[in-house]
Amino acid sequence: MIGSSKLVQTTPAVDMITTETPNMKITVASGKGGTGKTTVAVNFFLSVPKTSLLDCDVEEPNSNLFLHNDLEKVKEVTIPVPVIDEQKCEHCGKCADFCNYNALAALPQKVMVFSDLCHGCGGCSLVCPNDAISETGRNIGNIERSFSGQFHTGLLNIGEAMASPLIKELKNYAGENTVIMDAPPGTACPMITTVEDTDYCILVTEPTPFGLNDLKLAAEVVREMKIPAGVVINRAGVGDGGVEEYCQQTGLPIIMEIPYDRRIAEAYSEGIPFVETMPQWKDKFLQMFETIKEAVR
């Protein structure tokens, strides 16, 4: 099976790469889950030389199911959580009043800490008048990388809710090359943390009413964040023309269409990126890269 061997970037068949490629941060996001973010991110990464890939979908990272890299742990990520010194604490309750997430309960004789709810902002220790709060690290997950260093993934601990601090830390491993980031689905904090401070956002959708509904939400988010965006329609040919109509009305460019094709689905089911079985698609991803470069310029 081809899928069991490691996949590496190859030199493109055509010379489409301009010599001075600007190093960009490109996210692959979508409102709806299961539209093909990972498919687009992985195939894009394999098609464009000198790029890195970050799997920021830390709750269920799956890019490596298609890359088959051996991974090594590079960092255990922790967030600071408060520790109360009951000797110094006068139970004034200022810490609990300050905490927006109710991670502290100030009782007349004791302050209780609920670490799972703590976002690690450190505010409680700042407002404590008695210097009774110190901080300790709570592990939320790990960062792993391939031996080539071109691929990094975050892996959130099971049952953990704080995805954003792990994603923020993971983004520090972007490196010098153009980086492609596979974002978590939806439009909540983990997605926004991924998209924040990037140069371009690819919005992957499917041409169905469900895809359109969630595309609109995601498009509004990136518009609000003033990040240039383009749409990839995956499974083109199913559903209806609603997505195209919406893109036309709002001026959102459609930068690629991936057809509803049995060969793509078969490669996917075997864990093989379809640019490996249909190499002509590498050129299409390179063209899309050129389109993105133009939009960012």
Partner 1 sequence: MKICITSKSNESDSDIEPRFGRAPYFIMANTETGEFETKENPASSATGGAGIQAAQEVAKIQADVLITGNVGPNAYDVLSTAGIEVVTTSGVSVKEAIEQYNKGTLEKVSGPTAKAHAGMGRGQGRGGRK
Q: Which residues bind partner 1 (CB under 8 A)?
A: 96, 100-103, 105-108, 110, 112, 114, 116-117, 119, 161-164, 188-190
Burial class (CB within 10 angstroms; exposed 0-12, middle 13-18, buried 19+) of 159: exposed
Per-residue b or e along 69-95, where b marks 16 or more CB atoms closer than 10 Å to that residue's CB: bebeeebebbbbbbebeeeebebeebb
Q: Which among 184, 186, 147 has a CA at the least distance from the CA of 166?
A: 184
| Cα–Cα distance measured from residue 297 to residue 294, given in angstroms and rounded to the nearest whole number | 5
CB nearer to partner 1: give 65 or 161: 161
| Cα–Cα distance measured from residue 72 to residue 173, given in angstroms and rounded to the nearest whole number | 14
Q: How many CB atoms lie within 10 A of CB 251?
A: 6
CB nearer to partner 1: give 91 or 284: 91
Least spacing, CB of residue 213 vs partner 1, in Å: 16
CB nearer to partner 1: give 97 or 131: 97
Least spacing, CB of residue 36 vs partner 1, in Å: 23
Least spacing, CB of residue 198 vs partner 1, in Å: 19
CB nearer to partner 1: give 46 or 156: 156
Least spacing, CB of residue 33 vs partner 1, in Å: 15
Least spacing, CB of residue 124 vs partner 1, in Å: 13
| Cα–Cα distance measured from residue 249 to residue 129, given in angstroms and rounded to the nearest whole number | 56
How far separated are the first and last CA of the chain, in Å rounded? 41
Please tell me whether residue 76 adopts helix, strand or coil conformation: strand
CB nearer to partner 1: give 197 or 240: 197
Return the axis-axis angle of helices 242-250 and 209-224, rounded to nearest 10°: 20
Identify the residue whose tokens are 């008048």. 129
Please tell me whether residue 210 adopts helix, strand or coil conformation: helix
Least spacing, CB of residue 99 vs partner 1, in Å: 8
CB nearer to partner 1: give 163 or 258: 163
Least spacing, CB of residue 105 vs partner 1, in Å: 5
CB nearer to partner 1: give 99 or 179: 99
The contacts of residue 254 (CB under 8 Å, 6+ apart) are: 230, 231, 232, 233, 244, 247
Least spacing, CB of residue 96 vs partner 1, in Å: 6
CB nearer to partner 1: give 76 or 116: 116
Please tell me whether residue 265 adopts helix, strand or coil conformation: helix
Q: Long-range contact list for 278-283, CB < 8 A, 24+ apart?
A: 279/13, 281/43, 281/47, 282/12, 282/13, 282/46, 282/47, 283/12, 283/13, 283/14, 283/16, 283/47
